[in-house]
Amino acid sequence: MRVCLTGGAGYIGSHILVGLLEDGHDVLVVDNFANSSPKSLDQVRIITRSSFEVLDQDICNSGVLSEALSSFRPDIVIHCAGLKAVGESQEQPLRYYRTNVEGSISLLEAMDQAGCQRIIFSSSATVYGTPRYLPYDEAHPVAPVNVYGRTKAMIEDIITDWAATDPGRSAALLRYFNPVGAHESGEIGEDPKGIPNNLVPYIADVATGMRTELSIFGNDYDTRDGTGVRDYIHITDLADGHIAAMAFLEGNQGVETFNLGAGEGSSVLEVVKAFSRASNQSISYVIKPRRDGDVSESVANSSKANDVLAWKADRTLEAMCADVWRWRSRYPRGFDG
Ligand code: UFG
E-strand spans in the chain? 2-6, 26-31, 53-56, 76-79, 118-124, 170-176, 178-180, 214-217, 229-230, 232-234, 254-260, 266-267, 285-288, 297-298
- The band of 298, judged by pLDDT with boundaries at 50, 70 and 90, is very high
What's residue 145's pLDDT? 94
Total Cβ atoms within 10 A of residue 88: 15
Q: Is the pTM of this model over 0.75?
A: yes
Candidate of 214, 215, 217, 324 to mutate for ligand 1, largest count of ligand atoms within 8 Å of Cβ? 217
Taking the C-alpha atoms of residue 260 and residue 301, their distance in angstroms, rounded to an integer, is 9
Residue closest to 320 by CA, chosen among 234, 260, 201, 238 = 234
What is the CATH architecture assignment of 199-229+264-298+316-336?
A: Alpha-Beta Complex (3.90)
CATH entry, 2-181+232-263, from 3.40.50.720, 3.40.190.170, 3.40.50.1000, 3.10.129.10: 3.40.50.720
Q: What are φ and ψ of residue 313, in 5° steps?
A: -85, 105
Q: Where are the domains of the chain?
A: 2-181+232-263, 199-229+264-298+316-336
pLDDT of residue 292: 86
> Tell me, what's the pLDDT at 277?
98
Question: Do residues 148 and 83 make contact, with C-beta atoms less than 8 angstroms apart?
Answer: yes
Tell me the pLDDT tens digit for each residue of 135-146. 999 999 999 999
Question: What's the average model confidence in pLDDT over 51-60?
Answer: 98
Q: What is the CA radius of gyration of the chain?
A: 19
Nearest Cα to Cα of residue 6 among 112, 125, 99: 99
Question: Ligand 1 centre from 309 Cα, in Å?
Answer: 27
Is residue 100 lining ligand 1, measured as CB closer than 6 Å? no
**pLDDT tens column, 112-132:** 999 999 999 999 999 999 999
Q: Respond yes or no: is residue 133 known to be catalytic.
A: no
Q: State percent of the chain over pLDDT 70.
A: 100
User: Which ranges constitute the DSSP H helices of 80-198?
Assistant: 86-91, 93-96, 103-114, 147-164
Per-residue confidence (pLDDT) for residue 170, from 0 to 100: 98
| Whole-number average pLDDT of the chain | 97
From 83, 213, 268, 301, the mutation candidate for ligand 1 (largest count of ligand atoms within 8 A of CB) is 268
- The whole-number pLDDT of residue 89 equals 94
- Mean pLDDT confidence for 210-228: 97
Confidence of residue 72 (pLDDT cuts 50, 70, 90): very high
Find out whether the beta carbon of 146 lies less than 6 Å from any atom of ligand 1. no
Query: What's the CA-to-centroid distance between 199 and ligand 1, angstroms?
Result: 6
Q: Report pLDDT for 336.
A: 81
Residue 294 pLDDT > 80, yes or no?
yes
Q: Each residue of 145-161: pLDDT tens digit?
A: 999 999 999 999 999 99
Ligand 1, atom 20, residue with closest C-alpha: 198
Yes or no: say if 295 and 127 are a contact pair by the CB < 8 Å rule. no
Does the C-beta of 211 come closer than 6 Å to ligand 1?
Answer: no
Cβ of 199 below 6 Å from ligand 1: yes
**pLDDT reading at 337 higher than 70:** no
Span 172-199, mean pLDDT?
96
Does ligand 1 lie within 6 Å of residue 301's CB atom? Answer: no
Ligand 1 atom 15 nearest Cα: 228
For ligand 1, is residue 282 a contact (CB within 6 Å)? no
Ligand 1 atom having least distance to the Cα of 216: 7
Task: Judge if the beta carbon of residue 80 lies within 6 A of ligand 1.
Answer: no
pLDDT at 6: 98
